[in-house]
Structures are given as structure tokens and as C-alpha cells.
Structure 1
Amino acid sequence: MASPPSPTFLKQPHRNRSWKQWPLPPLPPDSYQVSNDFELSQYPELEDESLLAWGLKQSELEDSYFRATVTVLQGRGMELKWHYNVDDDYLDAIISVGQFFVNTWKSMFGWLPGNFSIPPRTVRSLRRGGLSGVILRSMYSSEGFWAKMGNQCFLRHGDHGKLASFESSYRYQCGWDTGIAYTQFIRTRHRCRYFCINYPALSMQRLTAYLKQNSALGYRPFFLEALAADECLKEFQRNIGDRRKLLVQHERTKGDKDIDFNTATTALHRLSRDWHTLGQDCQDFYTKLQFLQDAYMKYMRNIQDPKNGWKVDKFSHTDESLEVLKSQCDNFVRWTSVYRDRTNIRINLLFHLANQRESRTSTQIASSSAKIAEQTQRDSSSMITIATVTMFFLPGTFISAILSTTFFDFGPEGLSVSRQWWILPATTIPVMIIVFGVWLGWRYWRFKKKKSDLKLP
């Protein structure tokens, strides 16, 4: 087997489209050449031929050098051969046989939300080979990554009620923050065919190595699905592990003096959101594994039915592997829930620590305010004392200044007192009484007014 070519990534311009540009009125569907084994539009209620025709026309306008590449695994008995990056002419020649791996990840940009830049001729060839129109409808969607394609498992019966074909297809995500992938499996009585769009790269490497050692694994039922599921769970495990490290770093910070509450709270809320989304995607993947297990059991039950006359596969233990993968995915679902709860507990702890810090700050401010109030009260008492002393001496000073009275004289005979000394106390004492009365009355009025404003009892 030839080695796969090394990928080369080039950034290409792309057309920016909004959901308003997606078609609303129906468009005339393109005409397709129908294959004998894989008849198209068996389930027209699930497909939208007008949307597919519109998507093909949009693909023709795409001018990107790096668009989707197709790798084909062709088998003749136990002899398997890889064909990498086949062109459309060769794809048309071998479309009736082989397993098809379509890779759109090399296209850095595209007109579709998921960068599914598949050339229209390639799409038509794959459609003739049996590629599900439901998968294309999901790709030609304005919702992009958000859109979820339902799982499909179909049985077709021919004459006399015998099984004619078995088909299953589904959409999945390899990990959490990676691209979208699609897988379709079709089995007729004499043929087995896969269409894998964006099959996980590590799964592709493992598949190549396994088939090189044992080509019989290529005919094992649901082997490709289980291999991709294992790599997807490894990606989920890596995503969970990366975010768990962030959570542990936050949990090991015990003293609130070392915590930046603004950045820590924002980071923890972002982490809690990631746990919620990651847990939901793990739950979706668990449902996908359950679908694969049910589809596998349905497949084995029908091909082993003697009335159908199909050849029974030699390997029939993939359901046990799927059960192991389900158990592992169930652990991821439970642990993401636990980590989300631990993150929320940490957020609550930061909230209480912030409240305690604010409480301590408020207590310190209150203590400082009390000291300032006490000092202010002392200053106020001192000012009142000074004002009282001033008012006591002010009337006498005022009377002396007005009357220019001189009641004491230092003469040759010593200190002498004027006979009019009684005028000073006679005028000073009444004025002093009036001044103190006015001051006390003013203070009483101020107190009553303030009491009325505050409505104190």
C-alpha cells in the first residue's frame, strides 16, 4: 500500500454568506444518473432535492484551490489497495466499488459554514454511488456546526420480502472543539460500501496499519465506526483533561490574598459553560454509540436470517467493543457533571470570600469612621468651649469699646478705681444674658428642626 501524501495547507479567500442568502423558494432539482444497486431518493420526505441542486450550483462558484480530496480503499477479496487523492475521472470509474473517504479539512475556507468545499462533479459521482442526500442536506445548511443530523438506519426489501440492502448514516464530532464528520454504511447482498466525510485522521492512520497487518478487518461489521468512535472518545478525554487541569489550579489557590477575583470569576464561569457544553456533547455521543450498537444488532439479526440468503460475516464481536465505548462515554458524562459541580462550588467560594473581604473592609471603614467621629466630637466640644468663653468676654469688651470706659488708673498714689465703675457691670451683665439667651434659643431651634426632619420620637 502506498503511504498517504503529506497534507499541505494554504489559506484561500472565501465567500462570506449570511443565513439571509439561503434559498426560500424551491429550486428545480438536478437530474442524476441512478445506480442499479443504489437507487437515489428512496426517502424523499427526508431529502430536499431543491436545496441539493442549489448547493451544487453554489459549489460551482467556489474558486478555492484546496477543496475536498477523496481517498478510496478498493478491495478484491483479501487484497486491499489504497488510492489517495483520486481525480473525478478515476472516481467515476470506480464509484461502484470501494470505501470512500472524503476530506474537507484541508480547505481552510469555504462558502459553507463547515467549509465543506466539495466540487460539484465529485458530489454527483458520490451521489451516483449512493451518498445519502440527507447528509448533503445537512451540509448545505445555514446553521453549520449547530445543525444536528438525525441518525438513520434503513432496511430495503426486494421480491418475496427478502432483504435487499441495509443502510445506516449519522453525524458526529471527533472530540468537542473539532470539525463535523459524517459516516454512511451501505450493504447489499454482494457489496459493502462506506462514505466517510472527514473521517478522523488518527483513525485513518490506525485503519491503514491494521489493514496492512490483517486485511480481513476491512470486512468486519462496523469496524470503521468503532475505530472512529474510539478516537472521538480520546479527543473528549483530552478536552476534559485540559479543563480539569485549569479547575485544579483554581482549587489549589486557598488564600484569598492570592486570588484576583475579577479574572478568576470570569475564568470559572467560562469553565462552567465549557463543562455544560462538553457534558451535553458527551451525552449526545453516548446516544450515538447506543444507535450504533442497536444498528449493529439489527444488521446482524437480518443478515443471519436464513430466508435472506446473505453471507454471514466471519467477525461478529463489534457489539462488545461498542459496549466498552459506551461505558467509557458514560464515565465522561458523569465526570463532566462532577467537574461542573466542583466549578460551581469554587464560584460560590469566591463569592463568599469576596463578601468576607468586603465585610472586613466595611468593618475597617466603620472603625475608622468611628475614630474620626470621636475626634470630630472632641474638636466640636473644644470649639463650643472656646465659643462659650468668647461669648462670656465679648459683651464686656464690646461695652468697653463703645463707652471708652477707664475704670482703673495707675497714678502716683497707686491703683485707683473710678466712681463710675458700676456702669460696666450694669451694662455688661444684661448684654451677656441676652447673648447667651439668643445662642441657647438658636441651638434649641436647630435641634427641634433636625429632629423634625429625621422624624425622631
Structure 2
Amino acid sequence: MMATAGINPELAATIQYGVDVGRFSTTSKVTLVEVSLPDLISEEPDFDDESLLRRLETIRNETPGTAVRIRNFFIPWAVHDKQLAITSASLLQICTIIRVPVLFIEGLLQYDYWVRPGNGLFFPRDENGGYLKLDLFYRCPSSGGGRAYIFTTYDFAKKLTTNLCFNVQPNQMLLVEKPGIRLVRSSSEELLTIHIRLASQILQSLNKEASNFRVLLLQDENRQFSADPKAKSENLHRITQQHRIAQQLHIAVENFIDLEELIKFLIGASEKVRLAIDPTPAAGTTNEADMLSYLLSKVHYSKRWVSNYRDRANIRINLAFHLSTQTDNNVNLRHARLARRDTKLNTLIATLARRDSTDMRVITWITLVFLPGTFTATLFSTSFFNFQLDNNGSHVSRWIALYCGVTVFLTAAVFAIRSLLFRSKTKLKVDDIDKLLQETKKFVKEDDDDEKEELNEYI
């Protein structure tokens, strides 16, 4: 897209940037609403490029004194918060005719969502110091979701207010008074009332959205977390839901903060606008700053309560994590106690095995020391064997049976005494094992009961 005669090159370059980042649609869908004296509204919806350009040419050739006192262009998103439902050529023509500042278009076409354009109020003057027009623009939360961008200009020569509204529905502006309500009288009041009503609509929408999450939070607060390990999946689902509620409430708080900043900006702008347009207001006109201050107090109230709900949601999340951690700690403590009992049992077994091992080593050493000598002495010193020959030849003593009997008796006696002395210390009885198992089961049951009581106290 190239700049043509009468078009600001900087403006053309800015719109070209929007083309490069895909902020424009291939077709236009623009609604034009005009308010004429006395409060006659004409609405022309869904302008395409061709009809819009013809209408813009008519607007360009208007002369001061026209019956139209408010003109509004409503441009929705073709793709939410990404692509405008207007072509770059049509937007360039609109911006050229109503002389939109480049600063507003830069903020509008900024691709990075988190980069917020500032609020602006400018009064261009002629060479004699007189006001040519008034430019007011800002970004605000939209009652339909996302962000709305508003640009308002007032032509001092034509006494004409033109609004360029992105992501704003025509019915949100409430362009005429309700029956029984006093019609606006001054130009400044007429200009600012539109913004006051739009801010009020946004506040109502934010309150309604926050109220829905408040209901979900209260429903969750009336339910208790279960200490039963089988309910772990349900608790996890509830934590996820609470996180979503807290996240949405956090977004709501930030939206209230944005609206709060906008109203403060409009309060400051209202005094400047009144002094510029109506330095001597007629009797009976209202002070827009008073109405904005009232609206600001409502925003403060809503923001305080939504912040309270957000904090309560965070408290519920922290409580759930604390109880989950407490349960894990109790389980780990129980495992540690069981491991300690297992260690005690293993230590007892190891001690008994060590005693058996000691006894065996003692017996082995005694055997190694005395058995060879004893065997040799016994073999060669007994008289049971007689190697001398007599008349009957070689023979064995008749007392050998006594030797065998005494030997067997003494051996049995030694084993019996040793068994009686060391059996209670060296043998792990089945009864002892059953006793340890019963103590372990009792410990596990008592530990589970204590854990449930502790969790119920925290909930």
C-alpha cells in the first residue's frame, strides 16, 4: 500500500505495518451511526469497501452547520483481538478524513498484546492560538471480551463529535437518552456522556463476569477436602478448578484496575474538555467529573471484593497443597517407623547369627587345638588294644563296651547342657515373629487413625 496525495506518509507507514503483521481483513464490515438534531438516529450497518468510500467522500465535502452533531464508526474484530474487520485502504481513508493521530493507530495495530497504548488528550491549535479540534483516545476492557479501542475527535468549526470505536457494539454507547431522562445540552456533556456510559456498561459486564466465578468459589468453599487417599483424583480435579477460578479472578482484578485508570483519566480530561468547549456552561448542565467520580467509587468497591474473592481462592489452593503435603509427610513418617522396626528386627537376627557364629568359631578352635592330640593320646594309650601275642593270639580288651558307653553318655550330656544354656539366646522363636507382626499391624492402624484425625482438624 502506497501513500497518495493528501495522506500523511507516517500514517501510511503505520498502517502498512498493520498489513505486514496481518491486522487487517480482506473485506470491510463497518457500521455508521449518526445522531442529528433533534436526537434523530440513522444507522447504516455493514458498509463494504465501495459503499464506505463513497460515504467517506460525502463526509469529506461537508460544510460547517450540518445537522449531524455525533458521528460514530463501529468496527468489530474479524478474528478476535487479532484481525480488524476492515481493509487497510478503508481505514487509511477514515483516518485521513477525521484526522486520526498516528499515536492512536500505532497502539491499535500493535501486534504484541501486552504492549498497551497510552491514554491521550490533545488540543491542536491554529496559528492564532485557537482550538482546531480535540482528540481523545484510550484502550479499555470490552464488555464483549478482549480490548476495546476508542478515538473521539471534536471539530470546533463544525461542532461535530466523531467517534471511532473498535470492538464496541453500537447499543453499548446508548446514543440517545432513555424516556424521562433529561437530554444532554452542552457539547462537552454530549461528548463525555458517551464515554461515561461506555465505562458504566463495561463495569456492569465485569461485575457480571466476576459474579459467575464468585458463585463457583462459594460452591467449592462449602465442600470439604477428603482425607481418604482414594479421593486423591477428586481433590486434584478440585485444585485444578480452583486454579482456574483464581486465574480468572486475577484477570478480573486487572480489568478493574484498567477501568479505574481509565476513569481517572476521563476525570482529568473532563475538566479540560469543559473549559475548551463550554467555558461558561448553561444553567442546569451536569458536571461530568462528578458522575465519573461516582462511577470510580463503584469500581473501587467492585475491585476490592473481587480481590477478596481472588485471595480466598488462593487460600483454598494453598490449603489443598498443604493438606496434600501433610498427608505425604505422614505417610513418609509411617514408612520411617516401619523401617525402624524392620531395622530392629534385622539387628536382632544379626545379633543372634553373630552369637551362633561366635560359638562355632570357639568350637572350631577347640577342636583344632585338642582333637589331634586327644586322638593320638587316646589311640596309643588305651589298653583296649593289645598288640602283644599270647597263647590266644592278638585280642581286644573286654572293657571296650564300657568305654563306648561312657563316651556316648558324656557326649550327649555336653550337647544337652549346651542346648539348655544357649537355646533362649540363639533361637528366634515363631512366637516372637508373630508378636512382632501383631505389633506392626497395631502400629499401622493407630498411625492411620491419627493421620485422619489430623487432616479433619485442618479442614
Partner Cα separation in structure 2 for residue 302 and residue 99 of structure 1: 20
Partner Cα separation in structure 1 for residue 314 and residue 38 of structure 2: 56
| Structure 2 residue runs without a partner (length 5+) | 63-67, 385-396, 415-459
Is residue 78 from structure 1 mapped to residue 46 from structure 2 by the alignment?
Answer: no
Question: What is the correspondence of 1:326-405 to structure 2 with a 5 Å cutoff?
Answer: 326-388=296-358, 390=360
Question: What is the correspondence of 1:398-417 to structure 2 with a 5 Å cutoff?
Answer: 415-417=401-403
- 8 Å contact kept, 1:183–1:197: yes
Give the counterpart letter for 2:403 in structure 1: V
Is residue 68 from structure 1 mapped to residue 32 from structure 2 by the alignment?
Answer: no
Is residue 229 from structure 1 mapped to residue 194 from structure 2 by the alignment?
Answer: no
Residue of structure 2 aligned with 1:136, choices 88, 93, 105: 105
Question: What is the correspondence of 1:35-434 to structure 2 with a 5 Å cutoff?
Answer: 48-49=10-11, 51-55=13-17, 64-65=26-27, 67-86=28-47, 87-88=51-52, 89-94=54-59, 96=62, 97=68, 98-105=70-77, 107-108=78-79, 114-127=82-95, 128-143=97-112, 145-158=113-126, 161-175=129-143, 177-198=145-166, 200-201=168-169, 204=171, 207=174, 210=177, 216-217=183-184, 220-255=190-225, 257=227, 272-305=246-279, 315-388=285-358, 390=360, 415-417=401-403
Secondary structure class of the residue paired with 1:416: helix
- 8 Å contact kept, 1:60–1:120: no
Corresponding residue pairs, total: 374
Per the alignment, residue 21 of structure 1 pairs with none
Give the counterpart letter for 2:140 in structure 1: Y
Secondary structure class of the residue paired with 1:181: strand
Shift of 1:229: 0.6
Higher helix share: 2
Q: 1:90 to 1:302 in 2, by over 3 A?
A: closer
Secondary structure class of the residue paired with 1:305: coil
Shift of 1:208: 6.0
Question: What is the correspondence of 1:25-44 to structure 2 with a 5 Å cutoff?
Answer: 29-32=3-6
Q: 1:59 to 1:125 in 2, by over 3 A?
A: farther
Q: 1:421 to 1:147 in 2, by over 3 A?
A: closer
Give the counterpart letter for 2:137 in structure 1: S
391-400 vs 129-138, which moves further: 391-400
**CA displacement, residues 24-47 of structure 1 (integer Å, 9 cap, x when unaligned):** xxx9754336xxxxxxx7xxxxx9
Shift of 1:266: 5.7
Partner Cα separation in structure 2 for residue 420 and residue 83 of structure 1: 132
Shift of 1:326: 0.6
Secondary structure class of the residue paired with 1:194: strand
Q: 1:286 to 1:188 in 2, by over 3 A?
A: same
Partner Cα separation in structure 1 for residue 173 and residue 88 of structure 2: 30
Partner Cα separation in structure 2 for residue 379 and residue 176 of structure 1: 75
- 8 Å contact kept, 1:153–1:167: yes
Partner Cα separation in structure 2 for residue 93 and residue 359 of structure 1: 77
CA RMSD, aligned part only?
4.6
223-232 vs 353-362, which moves further: 353-362
Shift of 1:150: 1.6
**CA displacement, residues 357-382 of structure 1 (integer Å, 9 cap, x when unaligned):** 23311221122112212322333344
Q: 1:353 to 1:248 in 2, by over 3 A?
A: same
Partner Cα separation in structure 2 for residue 82 and residue 381 of structure 1: 99
Give the counterpart letter for 2:79 in structure 1: M
Q: 1:61 to 1:253 in 2, by over 3 A?
A: closer
| Structure 1 residue runs without a partner (length 5+) | 1-26, 34-40, 42-46, 429-457
Partner Cα separation in structure 2 for residue 182 and residue 363 of structure 1: 62
211-220 vs 173-182, which moves further: 211-220
**CA displacement, residues 247-280 of structure 1 (integer Å, 9 cap, x when unaligned):** 4455444445256665555655565555444433
Secondary structure class of the residue paired with 2:402: strand
Shift of 1:217: 5.0
- 8 Å contact kept, 2:25–2:86: no
Give the counterpart letter for 1:282 in structure 2: F
Give the counterpart letter for 2:115 in structure 1: A
Per the alignment, residue 457 of structure 2 pairs with none
Task: Give the structure with higher Rg (CA).
Answer: 2
TM-score (norm 2): 0.65
TM-score (norm 1): 0.66
Give the counterpart letter for 2:76 in structure 1: T
Secondary structure class of the residue paired with 2:174: helix
- 8 Å contact kept, 1:104–1:198: yes
Partner Cα separation in structure 2 for residue 297 and residue 275 of structure 1: 34
Shift of 1:284: 2.4
